[in-house]
């Protein structure tokens, strides 16, 4: 009889924690100059792509949790590139929209550590996901924190924690 009473009680206590049971960890790539919290162990990739300034190196850390995705990305432009931060942020926003399958929902100009930043939200009509990108340009590096989720999960405790955890640090 005690078992019949304890089992529902244990389930009632354990189930809410299972939903929030993601193991968050701080991702701080060596020499990148930032840190951010991610809800799990990230998949790490890097690639080189072409830009108007020449070849750029992209470093990407991503985590998927159910229907949501978290991406921390930074792009290093060639040293000596004299690029205005607003131009870089505009180009990053425009790049998100260039395929014609995304609709800009919101854009906010921000400052983080006295540096220009943007928070761009768009709706991707092909995947039916809302994508929110927090972008900042410092020196020759573009930092992007990207959260993708169904519209019903656009603003959650996890997404707020993800964006609030972004910090610039010494390189």
SS3 134: strand
Judging by beta carbons within 10 Å of its beta carbon (0-12, 13-18, 19+), is residue 145 exposed, middle or buried? Answer: buried
pLDDT at 54: 83
Confidence at residue 84, expressed as pLDDT on a 0 to 100 scale? 86
At 78 the pLDDT is 85
Q: List the beta strands (DSSP E) in 29-155.
A: 34-38, 43-51, 54-65, 68-76, 102-112, 115-124, 129-138, 141-149
Domains of the chain from N-terminus onward: 23-168 (3.40.1000.10)
Provide the pLDDT for residue 132: 97
Cβ neighbour number for residue 154 with a 10 Å cutoff? 18
Q: Which residues of the chain have pLDDT under 50?
A: 1-20
Contact 31, 57 (CB under 8 A): no
On average, the pLDDT of the chain sits at 86
The pLDDT score that the predictor gives to residue 82 is: 66
- Encode pLDDT of 39-50 as tens digits: 999 999 999 988
């Amino acid at each position: 009889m005690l078992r019949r009473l304890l089992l529902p009680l244990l389930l009632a206590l354990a189930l809410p924690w299972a939903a929030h049971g993601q193991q968050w960890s701080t991702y701080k790539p060596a020499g990148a100059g930032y840190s951010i919290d991610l809800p799990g162990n990230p998949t790490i990739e890097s690639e080189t792509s072409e830009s108007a300034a020449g070849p750029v190196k992209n470093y990407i850390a991503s985590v998927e949790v159910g229907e949501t995705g978290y991406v921390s990305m930074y792009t290093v432009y060639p040293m000596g590139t004299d690029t205005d931060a607003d131009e870089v942020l505009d180009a990053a926003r425009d790049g998100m929209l260039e395929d014609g399958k995304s609709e800009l929902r919101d854009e906010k100009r921000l400052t983080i550590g006295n540096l220009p930043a943007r928070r761009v939200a768009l709706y991707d009509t092909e995947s039916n996901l809302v994508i929110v990108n927090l972008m900042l340009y410092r020196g020759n590096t573009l930092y992007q924190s990207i959260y993708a989720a169904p519209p019903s999960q656009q603003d959650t405790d996890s997404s707020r924690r993800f964006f609030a955890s972004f910090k610039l640090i010494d390189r």
